[in-house]
Chain A
């Protein structure tokens, strides 16, 4: 992922607002052009109304009802929200699980990504081979990755065999409430290579003169990393952090696949996440009202994180344009 898109989107929105304000009388040619504009964007417009705006409004309403889709919906006001936030003991646990997962897996895989990129940015022999080894796992579809881990983490699977050679009695991983979340975090590390490749091309673009200057000043390579490399790649780290967090809050497939014996929540609900809970409530128990309320709570959390990230960005993201 590149951080270009955030900047481009902001810029595009700004210029769109500017041109949007202009009001002029349209000529016949202009009318025809406008007609074609609406014709051309009609696929998006229909999709927007039918698959997004309509469902969003419906979702707000459904979240205020108790509804199993077979009988008439009953309006219950904010009861679903208060149930989630005050009564349902599972909800807070699930929230905790999701935060635990997101706040450990995302920064950790970014640290690994940056570390690897920094190492590969040196004059390494066989850089292409390393890059392939690191990037190839990110091309494996998530379902296939989860399958491999389900097998590796089986109680008598390869990982515990390996630990056994060192005389360590491996845990039951996916069957153990204390170990299923770490197992999910380990799985997420497999995607660290995606960030590495992008960070690497960003590091490649840093002017070498900066390093020469630092060298003359006698900075160690550790100091050079923090003083030269790191400030230059913060926009990309920042972008990956936000997108990673948003993605991590929506974790679903891995959890669903790794949870033992069709119990989506895992042992003692230890791996129940926001979206698996939502899915379970909606499609296993037909609690559409409650599930919709959970969806909106998830939305609020995602928005909050995005806002916090953007607010604090000014403080620690280095923009070259500010120095000019």
Chain B
């Protein structure tokens, strides 16, 4: 199992992030025309990155606009007013339980991540280390399920959860995560396959059972990939819109991603949504993702190395 052949589709992603590590090369090959940065290079880079970044800036500057400016739609790209009270008003002045939205998001995202981490580590360990007849077929099954779009199972799943009386609870969004998914199983399995098995064989000789080996030897070594899976699940569950839209219709149960949409749709056609507060909400939705990305960057990177990632988004 350890000698995995990697066929043709081999990417050339190098371990170093592009910014670092290239210094020596740069100095040595600075005269190569392919790497010469002309004024046009800068012009294009500045224009495109500015265009990509403007909506982000708008989000911040509108979140700081006063109610008056917001109602007039008189926004500026660079913030001119700093109505910091918006950041408290969003919780009190919208007529919606925004604080509750945030709590719901935290609960759903955290428990989803916990579920994926526990279940994928168990299943991935088994596929990497334990031998059993039928394992090969099971693994092919795991891989083939990666291709099935969720829309196929969406309706029957809804009917199952409705039958169980789980509609309007967090359960339909959280529980499936405790049964892992093919992608995470694959990642853990690849990661564990690359750990030398001398240690767990020695432990087995010393009388540690299979669960003991998992718990005491493998689990402590798995944490880089488990952190990556945790981050990935967290960000996915945090930003998920369709799942909550299907299963949650009471304000009390909504996560922030759905609550924000609710905030803009409750205002009728004549009356504009409170854009400044909606943007505060968008920032609350965005900030944890940026923080998590910067804290977890190297683990997500690890995931990349271990056989591809689903991207951060």
Q: How far apart are the CA atoms of A30 and B130 in the complex, in Å?
A: 9
Asked if A311 CB lies within 8 Å of chain B CBs, one says no
Q: How far apart are the CA atoms of A200 and B136 in the complex, in Å?
A: 36
Q: Say which size band chain B's interface belongs to.
A: 35 or more
CB proximity to A under 8 Å, residues B152-205: 152-160, 162, 176, 178-182, 185-186, 189-190
Shortest beta-carbon distance from A218 to chain B in Å? 10
Once A44-B123, A141-B285 are accepted as A-B contacts, the answer to whether A205 and B14 lie under 8 Å apart by CB is yes
Asked if A89 CB lies within 8 Å of chain B CBs, one says no
Asked if A38 CB lies within 8 Å of chain B CBs, one says yes
Contact check, B52 vs A137: say whether CB atoms are below 8 A apart: yes
Contact check, B257 vs A130: say whether CB atoms are below 8 A apart: no
Q: Which of A1, A52, A59, A275 contacts B155 (CB 8 A)?
A: A59
Contact check, B9 vs A140: say whether CB atoms are below 8 A apart: no
On chain B, the residues within 8 Å of A33 by CB distance are 130-132, 210
On chain A, the residues within 8 Å of B258 by CB distance are 143
Interface residues contributed by chain A, number (CB under 8 Å): 142
Where chain A touches its partner, the secondary structure class is: helix
Once A48-B141, A123-B26, A208-B32 are accepted as A-B contacts, the answer to whether A20 and B136 lie under 8 Å apart by CB is yes
Q: How far apart are the CA atoms of A205 and B18 in the complex, in Å?
A: 9
On chain A, the residues within 8 Å of B265 by CB distance are 262
Q: How far apart are the CA atoms of A256 and B272 in the complex, in Å?
A: 18
Shortest beta-carbon distance from B269 to chain A in Å? 6
Contact check, B241 vs A142: say whether CB atoms are below 8 A apart: yes
On chain A, the residues within 8 Å of B75 by CB distance are 158
Asked if A320 CB lies within 8 Å of chain B CBs, one says yes
Contact check, A299 vs B1: say whether CB atoms are below 8 A apart: no
Q: Which of B11, B22, B122 contacts A40 (CB 8 A)?
A: B122
On chain A, the residues within 8 Å of B25 by CB distance are 208
On chain A, the residues within 8 Å of B28 by CB distance are 208
Asked if A201 CB lies within 8 Å of chain B CBs, one says yes
Name A138's closest neighbour in chain B (CB-CB): B313
Shortest beta-carbon distance from B6 to chain A in Å? 5
Contact check, A10 vs B307: say whether CB atoms are below 8 A apart: no
Shortest beta-carbon distance from B262 to chain A in Å? 11
On chain A, the residues within 8 Å of B16 by CB distance are 201, 204
Asked if A82 CB lies within 8 Å of chain B CBs, one says no
List, sorted by A's number, 25 A–B pairs whose CB atoms are closer than 8 Å.
A2-B308, A7-B7, A16-B140, A20-B136, A33-B131, A34-B130, A36-B130, A40-B123, A40-B130, A44-B180, A55-B160, A62-B155, A121-B18, A127-B19, A139-B290, A140-B286, A141-B257, A147-B261, A194-B312, A205-B12, A224-B33, A224-B34, A225-B34, A236-B11, A282-B154
